Amino acid sequence: MKIARVTAHPAQVTQVATVDLPRSAAVVWSFMAAPASATQLMEEVEAAVTFPGSPRGLGEIQVFLQRTATGRDIVAAEVIEYEEGRRAVTHSLGTTYPSYGVLTVEPDPAQPPEAFGQLNTAPHTGRASHVRGLPDDLDRPCCPGP
């Protein structure tokens, strides 16, 4: 790691990825809404769960166990905005500098309703270079249910 600049002032960094998928928006949402999908998408994530006792959707706390160069870290995020099947916004918990993630799933307007899903995500964990492709069998449930 090379530090190019150190500043005492906060800086905003934004990552955005858009992926067109030949799956319905509902299928894409059901895959992405499960925290465990992160284990299939980001190579440094070993495990991801919904914190026991937290609700699904708004107020949900998601916990990620990540490998790092020095061992492992736990990262937690809380869902602070939620529109079922379409949009979720998270913010980090337990960090000095807050970060936010936005997941938006939209049907492709050029296709018949529910024919294709478009995934727009601004992740707060992981680097874009470490994001894996979505699995081909996206129609199969990714993760065990509650």
pLDDT single digits (tens) 19-42: 777 777 888 888 888 898 888 888
Report how many domains make up the chain: 1
- E-strand stretches of 16-86: 17-21, 45-50, 61-68, 71-83
In a domain, 31, yes or no: yes
Which pLDDT score, from 0 to 100, does residue 48 have? 94
pTM above 0.75, yes or no: no
Domain membership of residue 52 as a residue range = 17-126
Distance CA 83, CA 21 (A): 20
pLDDT tier for residue 55 given thresholds of 50, 70 and 90? very high
In a domain, 110, yes or no: yes
In a domain, 7, yes or no: no
Question: 87-140 pLDDT, tens per residue?
Answer: 899 999 987 778 888 888 877 666 655 444 444 444 443 333 334 444 555 555
Distance CA 40, CA 58 (A): 23
We report the CATH number of the domain holding residue 79 as: 3.30.530.20
